[in-house]
Structure 1
Amino acid sequence: MLVNGAVIAGKSAVKGRSAEETEQIRVVLRERFESLDTEYALAVAENQKLRLVEIGDAAGDDQADSGSKTAERDAATSLLRTLLDRRQQAEAALQRLDEGTYGNCEGCAQPIPAARLEVFPSATTCVACKSTRERRAG
């Protein structure tokens, strides 16, 4: 479905990707964004509920209770950050699709393999450039 080609200009087809293929990609990315957006909204609501319960239920807590609540709060915050990051990645992928740069590596400008985009539709780099970045960071 996510066909590797070169640059796409808006919704028109360029260099090996038809307008239909581009629209299929847009649908997949939009569905991914909407799913993550819904999941994020639910996680925010759950986090707020957790905080309200925590505020009203703190009387009589010992160190273990306090530690457990802190661990739950940290896990919830981590989940929110992860969901927000993934949602932003999906939104950025849609923007790259509109700009005509979706599917091309930010590092070397070569097309990102279709298999990589199918597994990770928000990918911005090919495997080689990603590996290089990770080696430099580590």
Structure 2
Amino acid sequence: MTDIKLRARLEALASEYSNRADAIERDLSREHAQSFSEQATERQNDMVLQGLLADARASNKEVQQALVRLDEGTYGECEKCGEPISAARLEALPAASFCINCAD
């Protein structure tokens, strides 16, 4: 995959994670119901949303770091052992920073 296509793919992922985080933040900022039972359910839902928000932010950060590695010319190299990360792994996880052996 060319650097241009790879950059476009990574930027699309970053945009997707950012949009997801924005939508979750909007959901979390809504007002809660007046009844106690409904509030309890909404608070449980908020805990799930907070977890999803943390995941979206972490994934976006990983993609941003992958873009930095792409700019530096180190994208696709394992950050631990320096060996190439397999194309199949990068296809499945474009922001992967470790080869499969080091990720274990």
* TM norm. shorter chain > 0.5: yes
**What is the CA–CA distance in structure 1 between the aligned matches of 2:23 and 2:46, rounded to whole Å?**
15
SS at match of 1:112: coil
TM-align CA RMSD: 1.3
Higher relative contact order (CA 8 A, sep 6+): 1
Unaligned runs of 5+ in 2: none
Instruction: Please give the per-residue CA displacement for 1:79-109, whole angstroms capped at 9, x wherever unaligned.
Output: 1101111111111111111111111001100
User: Aligned pairs, how many?
Assistant: 104
**What is the CA–CA distance in structure 1 between the aligned matches of 2:102 and 2:44, rounded to whole Å?**
36
- Are 2:94 and 1:121 equivalent residues in the alignment? yes
TM (normalized to structure 1)? 0.70
User: Once the two structures are aligned, what percentage of the paired residues are identical?
Assistant: 28
Equivalent position to 2:8, from 27, 51, 59? 27
- Are 2:64 and 1:91 equivalent residues in the alignment? yes
67-76 or 24-33, larger mean C-alpha shift: 67-76
**What is the CA–CA distance in structure 2 between the aligned matches of 1:45 and 1:31, rounded to whole Å?**
21
**What is the CA–CA distance in structure 2 between the aligned matches of 1:47 and 1:97, rounded to whole Å?**
34
**What is the CA–CA distance in structure 2 between the aligned matches of 1:66 and 1:41, rounded to whole Å?**
22
Which residue does 1:82 correspond to in 2? 55
State the one-letter code of the partner of 2:25: V
- Superposition misfits of 4+ residues, deviation over 2 angstroms: none
**What is the CA–CA distance in structure 1 between the aligned matches of 2:26 and 2:65, rounded to whole Å?**
24
Deviation at 1:70, TM superposition (A): 2.4
117-126 or 25-34, larger mean C-alpha shift: 25-34
**What is the CA–CA distance in structure 2 between the aligned matches of 1:98 and 1:123, rounded to whole Å?**
15
Instruction: Please give the per-residue CA displacement for 1:57-85, whole angstroms capped at 9, x wherever unaligned.
Output: 23x414xx443232111001111101111
Unaligned runs of 5+ in 1: 2-20, 132-138
Bigger radius of gyration, 1 or 2?
Answer: 1
